[in-house]
Structure 1
Amino acid sequence: MKSIFNFILFTSVFIALCALLMIWQANQLLGLQYPRQTFYLFVFFSTICSYNFHWYLTPGSYSSSERLQWVDRYRDLMLMLCGVGLAGALFYFWPLRSHWLVLSGGAILTFLYSAPKVPYKPFTWLRRIAVGKTLFLTAVWTYVTTLLPAFVANQGLSWPLVLFTLHRFLLIYAICILFDFRDVESDKKEGIRSLITYLDYRSLNRLYYITLLFSALSAVLLGPYTSVPVIGTLLVPVLVTGLLTKKAHRDPSDYLFYFGLDGLMALSALLHLMLVSLFP
């Protein structure tokens, strides 16, 4: 069972499923109508491609983490899954090709996150950009799971879209800050700079809690546009993230971060799905 769980988690199938849940939630909250199944499959394969590419480039010599040891053992599998993901993404991109411009935005943001790990110029200069790692990752997750579905559905700017995007961006950003705390030593050895390199512990902690606070506030401001139970589902992961802060600072467990904290990005979507299933 542990081997199966590791396979689902470390090949990024889990995080790809989280992305699909988050897109489903955006569809529900914003009332988006477009070829959903095709878009789901495009995002699923794109996520498999990008994450396996990222981990294929990540050296395992800087850490004794279980995930990096697993990647070292199955690095060829990472490359194969990257290829499978790329083929699937291209296949499902074709029916969506009329939206090539907005889809390209997601591809560029995704590549910028992994680009500093490519050991060739001009990619290595990205390692010197302050806060780049955190912002790129937050931006790509927010864009792909929130803004991109709205763009593909040709929905114009609205207050629900703005507030939901802000809520999701701030929650993901706070979670990324916890990853920065954990990865500071490995990032330094790889020459990758992040926010934690420039701010002291107290300042970064203050930014972290302010980010969570505004994520909760933007969720509450969605009140006029959705139901109270749905607002509750948005607030739960903000609360849980805050409660897990001290544990995340003490415990660098891959399972806590790549299952627990990554899963928090999709927790409100899962609760929303349960709510819809129980009370249609």
Structure 2
Amino acid sequence: MLRSVFNFLLFSSIYVAICAVMVIWHTNTLLGLHYPSCTYMGFVFASTICSYNFHWWLTPNTGDHSHRLMWGGRHRQLQLVLGLLGLAFSTALGWQLRTHWIPISIAVLLTFLYTAPKLPHPPFVWLRKIAIGKTLFLALVWTYVTSLMPVWMAGRKADLNVWLFVLHRVCFTYASCILFDERDLEADQRAGVRSIITYLSEHNRSNVYYAALIVSAGCAAMLYPFAPGPLVAILIIPILALTFLTGTAKRNHSDYLYYFGLDGLIMLGPVLHLLWRMI
């Protein structure tokens, strides 16, 4: 029963939606942002449930030994229902945020463009051939929704500290996305999906990966003294954890390691920040 509940939370994308909400809370707290944050976090939670479930509903079961694909194959109707529920709630909450329709519309368009190549229609299938930067694109979408949109909605001036934080987030997320794309390299090649990762050699992919981690850590360090020392350390700890797990992730392609462990690192910093505030 516990395994079934865990699989449901993980593979229904509730877990990754919680990760997104925690990162938004972290952004709000670290940068001192004030806006209808609870409504926005509810909107992002519902939108994540919607977009991820439709994304995986459109992903065929290739027969690979993937716990996520096998779970999705057994629960296709559930994924569709969750996608529709997420769409309904995100629409209702998005209407409450209609004064911010420009940044929200941009987020909706970017999210759609990431999943669009999954649609089995010629214009969308064609996108697979030009999705060269899909890894960076996903990192930018995640950072835009969780780190930049809150700044925009709060009317906060994007000063140096804001841009350092945003660059820290996008580089860390990009490094994580590289590991996912390396794991899915053969599947993407079979499906005709092109990306920077499919073109680069393993050596060059490694260089880009570690460069992203170094830049992310450097930007976090440069936030001092705007952010106190403990908070800077909290930003750097997930980077060290991802570096430590790199070798394991390249050898072990378990869905649990990736969708629970690596995705979970995205909210490790926010969780540590929350615990630090409670002490």
| Shorter-chain TM-score range | over 0.9
Which deviates further from its counterpart, 184-193 or 166-175?
184-193
Matches of 2:236 and 2:85 in 1, distance apart?
36
Amino acid at match of 1:99: H
Give deviations 1:25-82, integer Å, cap 9, x for gaps.
Answer: 0001111001111111111100000000100011112522011000000011111100
What is aligned with 1:245?
A: 246
What is aligned with 2:221?
A: 220
Matches of 2:191 and 2:217 in 1, distance apart?
34
Give the superposition deviation at 1:130: 4.9
Matches of 1:170 and 1:215 in 2, distance apart?
5
User: Which residues of structure 2 form unaligned runs of 5+?
Assistant: none
Q: Is the 8 A contact 1:219 1:235 kept in 2?
A: yes
Q: Is the 8 A contact 1:63 1:186 kept in 2?
A: no
Matches of 1:130 and 1:44 in 2, distance apart?
26
Matches of 1:160 and 1:29 in 2, distance apart?
10
- Per the normalisation by structure 2, the TM-score is 0.98
What is aligned with 2:147?
A: 146
Number of matched residues? 278
**Percent of pairs identical after alignment?**
50
What is aligned with 2:12?
A: 11
Give the superposition deviation at 1:224: 2.0
Q: Secondary structure at the match of 1:224?
A: coil
Matches of 1:132 and 1:62 in 2, distance apart?
27
What is aligned with 1:54?
A: 55
What is aligned with 2:121?
A: 120
C-alpha RMSD over aligned residues: 0.9
Matches of 1:227 and 1:68 in 2, distance apart?
43
Q: Secondary structure at the match of 1:275?
A: helix
User: Which residues of structure 1 form unaligned runs of 5+?
Assistant: none
Q: 1:185-224 maps to which residues of 2 (within 5 A)?
A: 185-224=186-225
Matches of 1:36 and 1:142 in 2, distance apart?
16
Give the superposition deviation at 1:131: 3.3
What is aligned with 1:84?
A: 85
Matches of 1:270 and 1:110 in 2, distance apart?
25
Matches of 1:57 and 1:82 in 2, distance apart?
11
Give the superposition deviation at 1:254: 0.3
Give deviations 1:113-146, integer Å, cap 9, x for gaps.
Answer: 1111111121112111253321221111000000
Matches of 2:65 and 2:98 in 1, distance apart?
42
Amino acid at match of 2:228: S
Matches of 1:40 and 1:210 in 2, distance apart?
31
Amino acid at match of 2:32: G
Superposition misfits of 4+ residues, deviation over 6 angstroms: none
Matches of 2:215 and 2:110 in 1, distance apart?
24
Amino acid at match of 2:172: L
Amino acid at match of 2:129: R
- Per the normalisation by structure 1, the TM-score is 0.97
**Cα 1:140–1:209 shift into 2, 3 Å:** same
Give the superposition deviation at 1:150: 0.8
1:162 aligns with 2:143: no
What is aligned with 2:267?
A: 266
